[in-house]
Amino acid sequence: MKVAIMGYGVVGSGVAEVLKKNHESILKKSTLSQLDLKYILDIRDFPGDENESLLVRDFNLILNDSEVGIVVETMGGLRPAFDFVSACLRAGKHVVSSNKELVAEKGFELLKIAEEKNVNFLFEASVGGGIPIIRPLSQCLAANEIDEICGILNGTTNFILTKMINEGMDFESVLKMAQDNGYAEKDPTADIEGFDACRKICILASLVYGKHVYPEEVHTEGITRISIADVEYARDFGGVIKLIARAKKLDENKIFAMVSPMLVPGESQLSTVDDVFNGILVKGDSIGDVVFYGRGAGKLPTASAVVGDVIDCARSSGKKKFFGWGEGAPGYVADYLDAETSLFIRAEAENPCEALDAAKKTFGQITLLARTAAPGRELAFITPAATERELRTKLETLHILTPLSVIRVAES
């Protein structure tokens, strides 16, 4: 069987590298007599590249070549990836993708085509880079009802937050450093605004709860407004601020899903997931808490997940994988304001003592937090748990203080 790669960027070139480097053991595991890379599709030139002879610019060469049984899509973006992938599936080819945008937006549609054509559409690399998560969720944990899944799904923002926490650097300085080091993109919007984490939690939620969850349905906040002051108060609380993506089952026809910075207590397994690492916590009804930890991005980790899927396609040719991923439904994702939470509130006030008294009267039992060298007008506290709507409504009545930060508190 022959393999084609569409998109010769970081991940695509990693796939070519892993296929070559571990060719012998991959072939053995594929249980095929032959599994070779035949084409690499890219519109760019790569003069002198070791795979130059495989490079093509015409997608139809791949589509119409019956020798090509498995197509790897590592182009990223929705177009033309969606058109190419759906055409390949329709032509009876297995497709393996690392493209989280594609899977988050078009997963249901593509899985439906794959099912009709009795081929596989696999996407282990789209969440958590090399960390095995899609297959464990859809297979190993199949006997569980998953109550909740929450995780640190974006390495760039976790790197930035870790530097802020451990070295007291401010957001802008770390972002610049991360860009200089190649940990963050020149346009870091998708990472720092939470869009990347949002796509990933959409994929996990769709897989686990059985209906397609679209990114626009998920309330998403990034980390751009997190300050060192927030980080210091979090430490006083015995916790850390992390960008957390969450999905939770409410009932048969409703889930909660959100991406936002959260104050994570030190006892949580996620509190020690640092730097560019990802961590995913799954709560199952039978299994209890399970955590998956590893590098969530990077050329070779991601490529190795792609190649794992390629091997699986080769092995199970003619036998498609089952994902219980159905169509989305209006109103399926609940309004996040109806969810229960505690809030960390940092604010300023002319008279912080009076403001704290007012906060106590409004919220009831609050937990006061302190940090060294806080400005005289600053105050910070944690509210009791209530629906977010109720807490925000109460906060709006507190004219005596001006909120500077409002961050949700994770359960420990």
Catalytic residues, by residue number, are 200
297 binds a copy of itself (CB under 8 A): no
Residues 6 or more apart whose Cβ sits within 8 Å of residue 41: 4, 5, 6, 7, 8, 55, 56, 57, 59, 62
Residue 273 vs 333, nearer CB to a copy of itself: 273
Which residues from 45-84 bind a copy of itself, rule CB under 8 A? none
Q: What is the DSSP letter of 317?
A: T
d(CA 150, CA 403): 27
Structure tokens at 292: 């998956």
Structure tokens at 44: 């760019």
Residue 132 vs 403, nearer CB to a copy of itself: 132
- 242-271 mask for a copy of itself (x: CB under 8 A)? ---------------------------x--
Residue 274 vs 390, nearer CB to a copy of itself: 274
CA distances from 48 to 37, 45, 412 (A): 18, 9, 53
Residue 142 vs 329, nearer CB to a copy of itself: 142
CA distances from 98 to 7, 50, 310, 383 (A): 11, 23, 12, 40
295 binds a copy of itself (CB under 8 A): yes
Which residues from 343-372 bind a copy of itself, rule CB under 8 A? none
d(CA 72, CA 42): 12
Structure tokens at 97: 């993708």
27 binds a copy of itself (CB under 8 A): no
Nearest to 276 by CA among 194, 154, 181: 154
The residue within the footprint of a copy of itself, chosen from 2, 292, 362, 404 (CB under 8 A), is 292
Is 129:278 a contact under the CB 8 Å cutoff? yes
Instruction: Give the binding range for a copy of itself (CB under 8 A) out of 176-184, 232-240, 289-297, 386-394.
Output: 289-297
311 binds a copy of itself (CB under 8 A): yes
Nearest to 200 by CA among 241, 163, 243: 243
Instruction: Give the binding range for a copy of itself (CB under 8 A) out of 24-32, 152-160, 174-182, 367-375.
Output: 24-32
Instruction: Give the binding range for a copy of itself (CB under 8 A) out of 22-30, 53-61, 168-176, 190-198.
Output: 22-30
The residue within the footprint of a copy of itself, chosen from 27, 78, 290, 358 (CB under 8 A), is 290
Write out the E strands in 42-182: 55-56, 68-73, 94-97, 121-122, 146-152
**Nearest distance from C-beta of residue 164 to a copy of itself, angstroms:** 20
139 binds a copy of itself (CB under 8 A): yes
Q: What angle do CA 340, 345, 348 make, to 5 degrees?
A: 155
d(CA 204, CA 357): 43
Structure tokens at 150: 């929450």
Residue 76 vs 294, nearer CB to a copy of itself: 294
Instruction: Give the binding range for a copy of itself (CB under 8 A) out of 34-42, 312-320, 357-365, 375-383.
Output: 312-320
301 binds a copy of itself (CB under 8 A): yes
**Nearest distance from C-beta of residue 16 to a copy of itself, angstroms:** 12
The residue within the footprint of a copy of itself, chosen from 2, 61, 132, 193 (CB under 8 A), is 132
Residue 280 has a CB neighbour count (10 Å cut-off) of 28
The residue within the footprint of a copy of itself, chosen from 11, 40, 102, 131 (CB under 8 A), is 131
Binding site for a copy of itself (CB under 8 A): 14, 18, 21-22, 25-26, 28-29, 31, 124, 130-132, 135-136, 139-145, 269, 272, 284-295, 298, 300-301, 303-308, 310-312, 315-316, 319, 322, 324
